[in-house]
Amino acid sequence: MAKEISNDTIEKFKNDLTNHPAYKVASRAAQENGIFKASQDLQTKIDLDPTFSIEIDTGKSADQKQSGRCWMFSALNTMRHPLQKKFKLKDFELSQNYTNFWDKFEKSNWFFENVIATADKSLGDRKVSFLFATPQQDGGQWDMLCGIIEKYGIVPKSVYPETANSNNSSALNDTLNTLLRKDGLELRKLVNDGKSEDEVQARKEEMLNDVFRVLSISLGVPPTKFNFEYRDDDKNYHIDKDITPKEFFDKYVGMDLENHISTINAPTSDKPFHKVFSVEYLGNVEGGRQVRHLNLKVDEMKDLIIKQLKSGEVVWFGSNVVKDSERRAGLLDTNLYRRDELFDTDFSMTKAEKLDSGESMMDHAMVITGVDIVDGKPTKWKIENSWGEKPGFKGYFVMSDKWFDSFVYQAVINKKFLPDDLKKAYDEGKKNPIQLLPWDPMGALAFEY
């Protein structure tokens, strides 16, 4: 039987409050400055000095502006760094808007196909409700970006630049989702009215035409061929005429996407280590690359990342960036805020408990470009963000190793660095990955800005 809170209980709590030795000091500090400033430990700034024993020079940080395309910016950053070095193009960027256009177009088709497949279920069904809650959005995953590039290629930012709607995506997302929900309801009705598959698909194609028009007006029509004209850092002039986006990727980027795989660290009881997982309804390109995650122990993930950094290759990773972070200073550390001391209360949870309870999940993707190793162990990591040059150290952040343990959930690793047993586990598991429910925390999309 439920029990209400009595006045006697409240009085007991008030008496207990006055017995806490620092109650009045803590109250004044928190009420005047806010919880985070009142509990901030300045020692963190000393411990996270931006000096690293292993560091890859990657140049100027990009800026995703008011959009949730961190996963896209970070992935393209991993691809542009070797290009910058090979072709002597300082501060060169690949077009994030180009992949943004095709991602939203493909996500629209992905939504329509899932609506058709679930048309026999009620709108109150949890999975149907999940689909209609957000038909498409800015967020995504590594494998989803690979699926776009494998189908459409990539272009330089100079060929297909940002627009007002890519820099600030809220109006476009609202407009597109309104259209998709409206069309989704119509598709459900067509299926339930017994229309043939050909009739349903014909109507879907008309709907996709509307989507294409909305995207083209908002973002521009993506090029099918273009001239790549540039002057390198040595002032030498170059031009590559009538090149397609796929040809550009093969010639200038040439990254082996098939062998760059997603690893996760999800120490929950429902996810055995060294197994491969996928997430229901998570994707964008129908018939394209499926999202797959190989679950590793955290130290296994770190070892692979360090091997990759030592080889000169940066690492795309996903984390919960809003937790224990100081955006302006560019610091990520579990000791940054001492709320346990401020409130004399235990807030500690294991990584598994945070995932199982919804306390934490991936919300942002960045790039690891360095690590500081002391006595054979990593102590802090250098992070390239995509929030421009104002936050942190000209756009770069410093992450403590303890923060990695608590809030890093995903890292993309070149398969060549995996030991034979993990290669075997991935190759066997990717054929028939364990399916997670759509709302599983490992299905969370990176979108924070």
Successive 10-residue mean pLDDT values, the chain, 449 residues: 93 90 89 94 93 94 95 96 93 97 98 98 98 97 97 98 98 98 98 98 98 98 97 96 98 96 98 98 95 98 98 97 95 96 94 97 96 97 96 96 98 98 97 96 80
Say if residues 365 and 74 touch (Cβ distance below 8 Å): yes
CA distance 129 to 132: 5
Find out whether 92 and 80 touch, Cβ atoms under 8 Å: yes
Supply the residues annotated as catalytic: 70, 364, 385
Pure H helices in 220-322: 245-248, 298-310
Q: In 168-271, which ranges are E strands? A: 226-231, 237-243, 260-264
Q: What pLDDT is stored for residue 18 in this prediction?
A: 86
pLDDT value at residue 9? 94
Burial class for 449, CB neighbours closer than 10 Å (0-12, 13-18, 19+): middle
Region of residue 154 (phi > 0: left; psi between -120 and 50: alpha; otherwise: beta): beta
Tokens of 237: 């002039």
What is the pLDDT, as a whole number, of residue 449? 66
How many CA within 13 A on the CB side of residue 40?
14
| Interatomic CA distance for residues 224 and 219, integer angstroms | 15
Question: Tokens for 141?
Answer: 């995953």
pTM: 0.96
Please tell me whether residue 340 adopts helix, strand or coil conformation.
helix
**Rounded CA gap, 200 and 426, in Å?**
38
Nearest CA among 160, 164, 209, 146 for reference residue 183: 209
Q: How far apart, in whole angstroms, are the C-alpha atoms of residue 103 and residue 294?
A: 24
Write the CA distances from 181 to 110, 177, 226, integer angstroms: 13, 6, 35
Residue 337 in tokens: 């805020």
